[in-house]
Amino acid sequence: MLTQHTVVGCNVQSGDLMDTGTISGPTEGEAGAMVELSAGGTRTVPLPGTSEGRRFLADGDRVVLKGWCKCLARCALASGSAAEKSLRLFMTTVPLLPVIANKLDHEFNL
């Protein structure tokens, strides 16, 4: 993936967030993508604290990706997050731990 970015002239910097796709578990609570949470759009995912729900991400939704490292030895990795507000969404899979925020910019942990 890194090679593909650099070959086409992408200015990759240290600290840039790279995404390799979802990492999901076998149980319902281990879904790694919105499409899995909503069972392919057949089930509405409630947004806690509101009467709203989503089957897919909507234009203008804010997605926050959060990562962490758990290790037994000393670790050089730290936890962090990155956020982006979508203008148009063509894919419904969001990797890692998705956090959806409504247009009022309230964050909800799914």
Q: Is 26 domain-assigned?
A: yes
Instruction: Quote the number of domains for the chain.
Output: 1
- Whole-number mean pLDDT of the chain? 66
Bridge partners (DSSP) of residue 79 are none
Q: Is 7 domain-assigned?
A: no
Q: Which of 31-35, 40-44, 69-73, 103-107 has the lowest mean pLDDT?
A: 103-107
Backbone angles phi, psi at 96, to 5 degrees: 60, -135
- Supply the range of the domain harboring residue 71: 22-110
The structure's pTM equals 0.46
Q: Is 17 domain-assigned?
A: no
Judged on CB neighbours under 10 Å (0-12, 13-18, 19+), 101 is middle
Q: Is 16 domain-assigned?
A: no
Q: Is 2 domain-assigned?
A: no
Residue 110 has pLDDT above 50, yes or no: no
Q: Is 4 domain-assigned?
A: no
pLDDT, one tens digit per residue, over 43-55 is 998 887 889 899 9
Cα Rg, the chain, nearest whole Å:
16
3-class DSSP state of 81: strand
pLDDT of residue 51: 92
Q: Is 15 domain-assigned?
A: no
Please state, in angstroms and rounded to a whole number, the distance separating the CA atoms of residues 68 and 71. 10
Q: Which of 37-41, 63-67, 98-102 has the lowest mean pLDDT?
A: 98-102
Looking from the CA of 91 toward its CB, the CA atoms found within 13 Å total 7
Q: Is 75 domain-assigned?
A: yes
pLDDT of residue 105: 37
Please state, in angstroms and rounded to a whole number, the distance separating the CA atoms of residues 103 and 95. 21
pLDDT, one tens digit per residue, over 53-79 is 999 888 877 777 666 666 655 555 545
